[in-house]
Amino acid sequence: MHFLDQAKIYIKSGWGGPGAVSFRREKYVEYGGPDGGNGGKGGDIIFEAVAGLNTLIDFRYTQHFKAQRGMPGMGKNRYGAGGNDLIVKVPLGTQILSDPQPIEGTEDEDGYPEYEEQEILADFTEVGQRVSFLRGGDGGRGNLSYKTSTNRAPRQHGTGWPGQEMWVWLRLKLLADVGLVGMPNAGKSTLINQVTNTKAKVGAYAFTTTKPQLGVVLHRDREFVLADIPGLIAGAAEGAGIGDRFLGHIERCRVLLHLIDATGDDPVEAFRIVTDELAAYGGGLDEKPQIVVLNKGDLLGQELMEDIAEQLREQAGVEDVFIISGATGEGVTPLLDTVLEILDEERIEEKADDESDGEATWSPI
């Protein structure tokens, strides 16, 4: 299945049904009065977060969503049925954003206008969460409702109120406990394959991973969700290599695993590039607990790996460095033990914050 994390769609709620123009016609009733019923209400547009989806690819092929119109009213004071609501199912972690419009009089040197900032209209963090987004139009009045003491046989009726319509953007931000970050070819896909059942593509070249991957880690009879994003390069926060979109997928992670290729030209510089991009992106990424992991220990040996780890401590100010081999699994167990400890601490803090704020937080599992 192809991965898509952004899509633009058009949504429109249903029009209200027209009211009826009708008069009572019965035997021996010479002057029957009006009896036209009101039209039914148009259907609403409702978004719902569902399990089992992890991409917005369906919205590439279906981009227009229109709810059903209300049914017209009928004689004998019968009201029209309301139109069916249209439920748009989206993956967990989807955000609905406004469609930014150009700001008049703000053209740059090339003649392109500046655009308004996007506004987050809805954020889906729980399975089954529903948001009634656009309300359907009310039904039109039948001629019975127009009857007065001076107008005994009205023939006017309401045509039904129009529904609401708008363009919106859908943006998917994966929900995971742990985010896996690093430079291209750091061995992230190898590690996620080692600790989960994910079959991520592995290759001896940069940018083997081209889309975010999710996997569930089972360790010590406990589970947590691990997200692997494509490798980051300098300028990723500004969009280089569409890194800004990839970084958005780890905004909600509790912990970051920073994987460094020990066989690279300069592991210390690789560490600094990624941490600088996390800080430049914002969203609190640089404030999240970060576990620094030196990978590919099977290729260099323990002594050389310790020397590189010491360089990271002295030159980059890293306190703890884990030495592992994602290919053989060496050193992975103590790493996962530490991840569980930090996750427990983060959950305790979040629970305390939620109790003080009176709000519940999301959980990907």
Tokens of 21: 């123009």
User: What is the DSSP secondary-structure string of 110-147?
Assistant: TSPPPBPPP-EEEE--STT-EEEEEPPPPPPPPGGGG-
Annotated binding site: 182-189, 209, 228-231, 295-298, 325-327
8 A C-beta contact, residue 294 and residue 260: yes
> What range does the domain containing 32 cover?
1-172
**Are 71 and 185 within one domain?**
no
Where residue 357 falls among pLDDT bands split at 50, 70, 90? low
Q: For the residues 115-141, what does the mean pLDDT come to?
A: 93
Instruction: Quickly tell me which residue has 């009928």 as its tokens.
Output: 74
Residue with tokens 């900032």: 117
Q: Is the pLDDT at 363 greater than 70, yes or no? A: no
81-90, 190-199, 278-287, 344-353, range with greatest mean pLDDT: 81-90
The answer to whether residues 188 and 154 belong to one domain is no
What is the pLDDT confidence band of residue 249, given thresholds at 50, 70 and 90? confident
- Looking at the structure, tell me whether residues 211 and 300 fall in a common domain: yes
Beta bridge pairs of residue 114: none
- Look at residues 147, 172, 197 and tell me which one is the last residue of a structural domain: 172
Tell me what pLDDT residue 184 has.
Answer: 84
Contact status, residue 117 vs residue 22, Cβ threshold 8 Å: no
- What are the pLDDT digits (tens) for 278-294? 888 887 888 889 999 99
In percent, the amount of the chain with pLDDT more than 90 equals 44
**77 contacts 37 by C-beta, under 8 angstroms:** yes
In a domain, 39, yes or no: yes
Residue 362 covered by a domain:
no
Residue positions forming the annotated binding site for GTP: 182-189, 228-231, 295-298, 325-327
What is the tally of structural domains in the chain?
2
- Model pTM score: 0.74
CATH code of 224's domain: 3.40.50.300
Instruction: Cite the annotated binding site for Mg(2+) by residue number.
Output: 189, 209
Is residue 30, in this structure, part of any structural domain at all? yes
* Domain edge (last residue) among 145, 172, 199: 172
Average the pLDDT over 45-49 and give the result: 96
Q: Do residues 163 and 280 both lie within one domain?
A: no
> Does the structure show a pLDDT above 60 at 35?
yes
pLDDT value for 227: 85
The count of other CB atoms within 10 Å of the CB of residue 137 is: 24
